[in-house]
Amino acid sequence: MDQGEALNIIDVREPWEYEEFNIGGKLISLGSLPEHLDELSDLKDAEIIVHCRSGARSATAKAFLTQQGFGKVRNMLGGIMDWRANFG
């Protein structure tokens, strides 16, 4: 992010969590992820970074997206809690 690199970040938290604090990723809550697969189809071969509050929901999102054929999904370990502790 600091280098201005375009990143595909998906925030799988709930809208109220996103409103409280976010790092600019696209908000798609974990429960609605299956409904948004069509709009993510262009990213099947691109690196996608998923994150949540602590890393648990994003681990589930990573597993789901991988099962759907997305090949380069990364989980932001520690989630927003870790990011804020180190960068925020």
Q: Is 45 a catalytic residue?
A: no
Q: Residue 3: how many CA atoms within 13 Å on its side-chain side?
A: 3
Of the residues 49, 52, 76, 80, which is catalytic?
52
DSSP SS3 for 62: helix
> How far apart, in whole angstroms, are the C-alpha atoms of residue 21 and residue 80?
9
Catalytic residues: 52
